[in-house]
Amino acid sequence: MAEMPFANTDIEDEFALHATSELNKEKKRKRTTGKEIPEGSERNKKKKKQYQPNYFISIPITNPEITDGIRAVQDAIIQKDHRLSKAMVRCASLHVTMLVMHLSGEEEIGIAVDALSDSKDFVEDLLKGKTVDLSFQGIDHFKNEVGFVKLTENDHTAVLTEIAETMKKIFQEKGILAGEGRAFKPHLTFMKLSKSTQLRKEVKKIDASLYEDFKNQYFGDEVLHRLDLCSMLKKKQPNGYYYCESSVFLGSLIERHVFTLEN
């Protein structure tokens, strides 16, 4: 059986894992309370399948300290279990996902580009000239199928959550199916079993002991400077990063110039 297109991409399908967990909780509540499941639930499931996410808003990771640290973790894991080399996310693809969405064609892509542009003013108004410094420390997992570096919770992550909620509202007001049923949990994925169908047959769960030595490691900080509208399915750029339909830059003109040259 061939892989589904979504499984072929490097976008975080751990969102789907998290959404499944929330759905199971809802079903459990319904069984406990005795409330009936709505008649249209099966129809809604089919509808959701038709609107599988194919685009996302990304914060690219450009700090070499972070990417080098993650590469060292990946190398250490592969030395212990070479099969997991197929599970590793390329360092050029490392990012934090702010929002996922389904765009059905060029018209909706254009609307999403406009929504991202509109988001810039709201984000900069929210920041009021301040920077958002994202600090990455420690490793965790989703159901032992996805390994990720944790984002330290502080005032900056609270602002990031507010930005994500604002963007979600802007996109939805323009008619884009964005962020449906997916709680925002910012993180930095570096390994996942879904990258390879063959691997999933060989490895059902990632052994947490493989990265035990790095469980509390500090990886570095990333200043929020850019937001990208990226495709999950289109061919990646030569540097390994996702195909971008559009980007908005935050900060000074000098910062924008530097980051444009880097990418």
Q: What is the CATH number of the domain that holds 121?
A: 3.90.1140.10
Examine residue 256 and state whether it is found in any structural domain, yes or no: yes
The answer to the question of residue 35 being in a domain is no
Q: Which of 60-64, 195-199, 203-207 has the lowest mean pLDDT?
A: 195-199
Instruction: Give residue 16's pLDDT.
Output: 54
Helix and strand numbers, DSSP H then E, in the chain: 7, 9
Residue 3 lies in a domain: no
Please give the tally of structural domains in the chain.
Answer: 1
In a domain, 36, yes or no: no
Q: Is residue 230 included in any domain, yes or no?
A: yes
**In the block, residue with structure tokens 């406990």:** 32
Q: Count other C-beta atoms under 10 Å from residue 29's C-beta.
A: 10
Domain ranges, residue 126: 55-262
Of 192, 17, 181, 174, nearest to 99 by C-alpha is: 181
**Taking a C-beta distance cutoff of 8 angstroms, is the pair 114, 174 a contact?**
yes
What is the C-alpha R_g of the chain?
19
- Residue 57 in tokens: 């808003």
Residue 126 falls within a domain, yes or no?
A: yes
255 pLDDT tier (thresholds 50, 70, 90): very low
Question: pTM for this one?
Answer: 0.80
Residue 27 lies in a domain: no
Over the chain, what is the mean pLDDT? 84
* Both tokens assigned to 70: 């993650």
Range 131-152 average pLDDT: 96
On whether residue 82 sits in a domain, the answer given is yes
Q: Quick one: tokens of 62? A: 């450009």
